[in-house]
Amino acid sequence: MDKFEKGIIAASIVISMVLFFSVLVARSSYKADVPECIPADNIYTEGKAVMLDKNTWQLYYVARMWLFDPAEVEIPVGSEVDLYVTSPDVVHGFNIASKNVNMMAVPGAITKTTVTFDKPGEYPITCHEYCGMFHQIMQGKIIVR
Amino acid sequence: MAQDNFTPPDEKFVPRGAVAFFALLMLIILVIWFAIYFIMLSRT
């Protein structure tokens, strides 16, 4: 094999390893959370916000054609929030772009992730899975003060 | 005749263009990949 071919193959392997270990570093030291699908015998049918203590919240979202319930939630800065999402009709998306939240709302299942809102502001929630005629108006909001 | 003009390949040929292209390609990929990587990390 030509020495330049060997060099290019070696460089490709090294760069691939750099990218791979960067993902591992992000996964471990930065505590990037991955949504999980939790088993559910009794699916809730109405959205609600539950305050466990001042900085710990559970938000139960129902994504249905074509709204999020609750549509707007206000929480204090620094809150650690467990987000639960389900759907009574079709598959919806649940995306908070500025917090890397990317979940699916699936009928008959509950998707969960945990997010800490450490900066004040408005965090728009959008449906990013086409769900019908008014998919584009399906939005919600988390207000952090 | 064409054969009279034949010159043997240079045995010390170095593919500088291909190596430079490859290095530039890898550099661009790394810059774009890590730019997105750190944007995503800043959002967690």
Give how many domains chain A has, as a whole number: 2
Across all residues in chain B, what is the average pLDDT? Answer: 84
Same domain, A65 and A119: yes
Domain with residue A88: its CATH number is 2.60.40.420
- B4 belongs to a structural domain: no
- Answer yes or no: do B37 and A100 touch at CB < 8 A: no
Q: Say if residue A87's pLDDT is above 90.
A: yes
Q: Is A106 exposed, middle or buried (0-12, 13-18, 19+ CB in 10 A)?
A: middle
Residues of A in contact with B21 (CB under 8 A): none
The per-residue pLDDT for range A90-108, each reduced to its tens digit, is 999 999 998 889 999 999 8
Task: For residue B43, give how far its alpha carbon lies from the nearest alpha carbon of chain A (Å).
Answer: 5
A111 lies in which domain range? 36-144
- Answer yes or no: do A98 and B33 touch at CB < 8 A: no
User: In which band, very low, low, confident or very high, does the pLDDT at A30 lie, cut at 50, 70 and 90?
Assistant: low
Residues of A in contact with B40 (CB under 8 A): 26, 100
- Answer yes or no: do A15 and B44 touch at CB < 8 A: no
Answering whether pTM is above 0.80, one says: no
Give how many domains chain B has, as a whole number: 1
Same domain, A65 and A7: no
Decide if the complex's ipTM is over 0.90: no
User: Which residue is closest to B31 within chain A, CA to CA?
Assistant: A19
B20 lies in which domain range? 15-44
How many other C-beta atoms are found inside a 10 Å radius of the C-beta of residue A33?
17
Q: Say if residue B18's pLDDT is above 70.
A: yes
Q: Say if residue A31's pLDDT is above 70.
A: no
Q: How far apart are the first and last CA of chain B?
A: 71
Q: Report the distance separating Cα A104 and Cα A93, nearest Å.
A: 5
> From residue A106, how far is each of A4, A36, A69, A125 by CA, in Å?
51, 12, 15, 16
